[in-house]
Amino acid sequence: MRVLHVSGCYAPATEWGGVVTAVRGMLHALSSAGVEVELLTTTQRSRAELPAIPSGRRDVDGVPVSYFRSVHRLGRAFWAPGLGRALRARAPSFDLVHLHMLWTAAGIVAARHCRARGIPYVVTLHGALNPWALRQRAFEKRVFLAAAERRNLRGAARLHFTTEAERDEAPPWVRTLPAVVVPDVVDAERFVGLGNADERAHSFEVLLLSRIHAVKGFDLLVPAMRRVRALEPRARLVVAGPDEGGHRAVVERQVAAAGLREAVTFTGLLDETGRARALARAALLVAPSHQENFGMSVAEAMSAGLPVIVSDRVNLAGDVQRAGAGEVVPLDEGALADAILRVLRDPARRSDMGAAGRRLVTERFSSRAVGGALRAAYASVLSDRSRRSGPRGEA
C-alpha cells in the first residue's frame, strides 16, 4: 500500500503547532505498520528570524519528504508551485492521497487534482472545524468553504478526526460524511523516566507547553496563578513555546499587571531536549485552552508521568477524566486556581495521576495502535473503490 501525504508545513517548522507533530507521528506509525508513505510539503515559516528551510527531497525520520519553496516565505498561504507540479506527476503512482490542514492552497489544489484524476483521498481536519476555529477569520473561512473546501470535504473518501469530541463539534453537514476517528500518535517511550521522583514530588513548577496564542487560555491562567501564589508562594509558571502573532507581548503585560513578573518564565520555542527538560522539572502541566482539538502537549505530559489540568474544551478531557490522569475544569479562573492548588499540594496524588496518564498513552496513543487503525481505514477506502465501477468523478 502506497500513500502520498500533503501538508502545508512540516518539521523543522514546529512553530506551526501540533499539526507538524501530528503529521510526523502519523508518518512514522504508518511506516512501521508497513505502509509506504511519502510527504509533499512547503518551506513555509511563520517568522523572519527563523532559519529558512532548504527546498529539495530528503529523508526525515526514515520517510521521504519533498520540500518545495513557498511563494511567500512567511504567513499562512502554504503554497509552492513546485508542489502542485510534483503532485500531478507523482499522485497517480500511489493508492491514495492523505491531505492535512484546511484553508491552504496546497490542500485545495491537491483535493481538486485527486477528484479530477479519480484518486481517493483522506482529509485530516486537525481541529479546523471546531467552533472556536471557525470563529477566527470567519468571513475568510466562509469564502473558502463556498469556493472550495465544502466540495473538497464532500469529495473525500474519509474525513479523519482525532477524537469523538472533534467529530461531534463539527458542523452538522460534516458529520454526515464518511469518517474515521483515530487519535494522534504519542511516543510513550520518548519521555519515560524523566526527572527524579523525589525532586518532582517537591516541585512547585506549573508548566504550559504550547505556542503563545489567545486560544491557549492565558486570560484565565494568569489571574489563576495570581490566586495560587497568594496561597502558595512557591508556585511558579513556566510558559514553554513560541510566540504567535505577537501575543507574547499581550501575555507579558497581563503578567506584569498581576504582579507575577518574578514568578513567570518564558522559554521561547524548545527543541526536543528542551521539552524533555521542562517536563522533567515540572510538578504538573496545565492546558486551560478555549479550544484544543487533541492536545499533544497534554498527551506528552501524560507519557512523561505528569498529572495534567485541562479545560473542558480540550478534546482529551474525557480521556483524562476517565483515566484519573488529572483534573478537568470549566473555563473559570477560580476553578483553575483551585485545581492547581489541590494537585500541587498532594504529591502522592500527583504520582498516582502521572502513572494513570502514562498507562493511557501506552494503551491508546502508541505508534502501533494508531498505525494499525489508519492502515485499516486506508484498506476500507481502497475496498470501497474496488467495488465501484468507473473512476471517481468530480464531487
Q: Is residue 301 located within the same domain as residue 380?
A: no
Q: Is residue 161 located within the same domain as residue 211?
A: no
The residue among 231, 181, 187, 225 whose CA lies nearest residue 206 is 225
Strand partners, 36: 2
Range of the domain at 203: 197-364
Question: Which contiguous run of DSSP H or E holds residue 172?
Answer: helix 172-175
Q: Is residue 228 located within the same domain as residue 354?
A: yes
Q: Is residue 307 part of a domain?
A: yes
How many other CB atoms sit within 10 Å of the CB of residue 385?
Answer: 16
Q: Is residue 233 located within the same domain as residue 179?
A: no
Q: What confidence tens digit (pLDDT) does each residue in 108-118 have?
A: 999 999 999 99
The residue among 113, 125, 111, 117 whose CA lies nearest residue 155 is 111
**Distance (Å, whole) CA 34 – CA 38:** 13
Cβ-proximal residues to 390 (8 Å cutoff; 6+ apart), any chain: none
Q: Is residue 19 located within the same domain as residue 131?
A: yes
**Distance (Å, whole) CA 313 – CA 356:** 21
Number of domains in the chain: 2
Q: Where do the H-state alpha helices sit in 267-366?
A: 272-281, 296-303, 317-323, 333-344, 347-364
Q: Is residue 301 located within the same domain as residue 216?
A: yes
The residue among 86, 92, 131, 147 whose CA lies nearest residue 114 is 92
Dihedral pair phi/psi, residue 383, rounded to 5°: -65, -40
Q: Is residue 249 part of a domain?
A: yes
Three-state DSSP at 109 gives helix
Look at the pTM and tell me if it is higher than 0.85: no
Output the pLDDT for position 394.
45
Q: Is residue 279 located within the same domain as residue 309?
A: yes
Q: Is residue 191 part of a domain?
A: no
Q: Is residue 277 located within the same domain as residue 143?
A: no
Q: Is residue 190 part of a domain?
A: no
Characterise 295 by phi-psi region: left (phi > 0), alpha (psi -120 to 50), beta (else): left
Q: Is residue 192 part of a domain?
A: no
Rg (CA), the chain: 21
Q: Is the pLDDT of residue 119 over 90?
A: yes
Domain CATH for 268: 3.40.50.2000
Rounded to 5°, the CA angle 88-179-310 comes to 110
Q: Is residue 228 located within the same domain as residue 245?
A: yes
**Distance (Å, whole) CA 280 – CA 250:** 28
Q: Is residue 375 located within the same domain as residue 241?
A: no
Q: What is the mean pLDDT of residues 259-264?
A: 97
Confidence band, pLDDT 50/70/90 cuts, at residue 391: low
Q: Is residue 269 part of a domain?
A: yes
Buried-state track 114-128, b at ≥16 Cβ within 10 A, e below 16? bbeeebbbbbbbbbb
> First-to-last CA distance in the chain?
25
Output the pLDDT for position 395.
42
Output the pLDDT for position 371.
96
Q: What confidence tens digit (pLDDT) does each residue in 31-40 have?
A: 999 999 999 9
Q: Is residue 392 part of a domain?
A: no
Q: Is residue 46 located within the same domain as residue 104?
A: yes
Average pLDDT, rounded, for the chain: 91
Q: Is residue 165 located within the same domain as residue 261?
A: no
Polymer length in residues for the chain:
395
